[in-house]
Structures are given as structure tokens and as C-alpha cells.
Amino acid sequence: MTDAASLPGQPRGGVLSGQATARAHCVLAPNPSAMTLDGTNTWIVAEPGSGSAVVVDPGPLDEGHLRHVLSTAERLGKRVDLTVLTHGHPDHAEGAARFAELSGTSVRALDPALRLGDEGLAAGDVVSTGGLEMRVVPTPGHTADSLCFHLPAEGAVLTGDTVLGRGTTVVAHPDGRLGDYLDSLRRLRSLTRDDGVSTVLPGHGPVLEDAQGVIDFYLAHRADRLAQVETAVAEGFGTASEVVAHVYADVDRSLWPAAELSVRAQLAYLAERGAGAA
């Protein structure tokens, strides 16, 4: 889910679908739109040489796509042993129950409502299937239930909608909160600094090879937008839709409803910050 506020100078990666790293293979779902960019990236993640794989975000409820994910894993010589979700938005999670049925796997997610089976996902969990090490990193902000998955063996992180391959993401107010989102970006930034993470495997858009640069861009973009919203409020633009029309004038109108969610998140953040300072 993007607000497509792509700015000049932002890194742009290569083509989607196929083997992105030694452990991560992308299967692009056929659901392109202004909100989902090229479509949802479904990831098949496995340790090299292992016959077991984890599927991250089966994607929309599209029988052809779900079967294609399964046949791709088979072609790679992998049996899918587990399905996990970065968050509950339908373009990532709607097909999870059907995929679990097709693959005979359980579904692990932060949100208990999305789980199938006994196990959830929480901070500090490590998903280990067939020798794979995939660390769960809570990254609330886009939604309250957003997670990233860190692959320490190759300095990569699967980011769901927290960081996209193009543009910037929506803070989906009221579930998503800007303060949480900024903290999550800083958490990811510390992975680039302290754990050598350089590759972003996003939920939409191409793979990015400069994780630190992208996260710095996101932090700067959020600060810029917040300053614009603060100025608009000071100038008397009162409602969220008025602020959107003023601040997001350069963004395609089809994205204004999503931008309004981000503006509501920013207005809530400014109100909380004001209350905290008072």
C-alpha cells in the first residue's frame, strides 16, 4: 500500500519475480494497482540446499497465483513447510487460508485472527525451517501488526509494506501510528548499521540494495511531510482532506484517499506531541 510520493533521486531496483538472493525467490502476484505497484511480492524463502521453504505473504485470494507459488517451490526442489504474514492487509494475507490448505501448512502472524495453527509470531522469535534463520522484527506503523523478517546470513530484510521498492508507504491511521512507524524505521536502520543489512526485499516493487539509503530517505520524507502538514495546519487548513489537497497536490488524485490516512496519522501525531509538550 503506497502513497506513491516518489521523489527524485530515490533508488530504483531491477525486475521482479525470480531468485532475488540465495535464500529468497519472488513470485509476483497478478494484482497491480496504484496502491500495490506491480502487485504483491510473495516470497519463497529457504536455506540453500535445503528441501524446506517458508512462504512469506501468499498474497490475494487468487487461485492461479497460489498454485503458481506452490509449483514454483516444487520446481525449486522445496516443500513449503510454513506460511507467515508480514501483516493482515488483504493484498498480502487474503489468500493465506487457501494457500495453507493447498500446501498443508500452518499460518503464523502477529495478529491471532490471522493465524492457522497454534503458533503466532512475536518479537525475538526465530523462524527456522530446514536450517534457515529468519528473525522476527516487530515494525508497527504501517499497521499495528506489521512485522519484518531479517535474514542475517545474507544481510537482507523482508519488509512487507514497511519499506517498499518504490515510493513510500501509507501509515494507515488509525491502526497505523506515525510515532510507531518512525520508531520502526529507526529499528530497521539499526539493523543496517549494527547487523550489516543492505538488501531490502519489499512487499511491493523491486529489490533494493541500499537499505540504509532507502531508510534514510524514508525518515527524511516523513520529516518533510510532517513539516508540510504542520505548516498547512498553521495556515488554517483544518480538515484532513483540506490538508491532503494542499500538501499532496503533486500526487496523483487516485492516491489521495491513502494520503488522507497518512495525514490523519500525522495530525494525530502532532496532537499527541503537542499534548506531551504542554
In sequence order, what are the beta bridge partners of 40? 204
* Number of residues near Zn ion (by CB under 5 A): 3
Q: Is 258 in the site for Zn ion (CB under 5 A)?
A: no
Separation CA 236–CA 218 (nearest Å): 27
Least spacing, CB of residue 20 vs Zn ion, in Å: 20
Residue list 192-251, contact with Zn ion (CB under 5 A): none
Asked if 125 is part of the footprint of Zn ion (rule: CB under 5 A), the reply reads no
Comparing CB distances to Zn ion, the nearer of 65 and 89 is 89
Q: How far is the CB of 76 from Zn ion (least distance, A)?
A: 26
Q: Which is nearer to Zn ion, 81 or 91 (CB)?
A: 91
Residue 25 touches Zn ion, criterion: CB under 5 A: no
How near is the Cβ of 147 to Zn ion at its closest, in Å?
12
Nearer to Zn ion among residue 144 and residue 270 (C-beta): 144
Residue 200 C-alpha cell reads as: 531490502
**Considering the rule CB under 5 A, would residue 3 count as an interface residue with Zn ion?**
no
Give me the half-sphere count of Cα atoms (radius 13 Å) on the Cβ side of residue 186.
6
Single residue of 65, 78, 89, 166 touching Zn ion by CB under 5 A = 89
47 versus 57: smaller Cβ distance to Zn ion: 57
The piece of 17-25, 84-92, 119-127, 177-185 that touches Zn ion (CB under 5 A) is 84-92
For 187-193, the CB contacts below 8 A with 24+ separation are 187/137, 187/139, 188/137, 188/139, 188/148, 188/157, 188/159, 188/162, 188/163, 188/215, 189/215, 189/216, 189/219, 191/137, 191/150, 191/157
Phi and psi at 156, nearest 5°, equal -125, 155
Judged by beta carbon, residue 70 or residue 259, the one nearer Zn ion is: 259
* Residue 1 or 263 having the CB closest to Zn ion: 1
Q: How far is the CB of 55 from Zn ion (least distance, A)?
A: 17
Query: Hey, which bits of 71-187 come out as E strands?
Result: 79-84, 107-108, 126-127, 134-138, 147-151, 156-160
CA dihedral 56, 57, 62, 66 (to 10 degrees): 10
Q: Which is nearer to Zn ion, 113 or 249 (CB)?
A: 113
What is the number of the residue whose Cβ is closest to Zn ion? 89
Residue type, 213: G
* x/- letters, 151..190, toward Zn ion (CB under 5 A): ----------x-----------------------------
Contact at 8 Å (CB) between 168 and 161? no
**Are 191 and 150 spatial neighbours (Cβ–Cβ below 8 Å)?**
yes
Q: Which residues would be at the binding site for Zn ion (CB under 5 A)?
A: 1, 89, 161
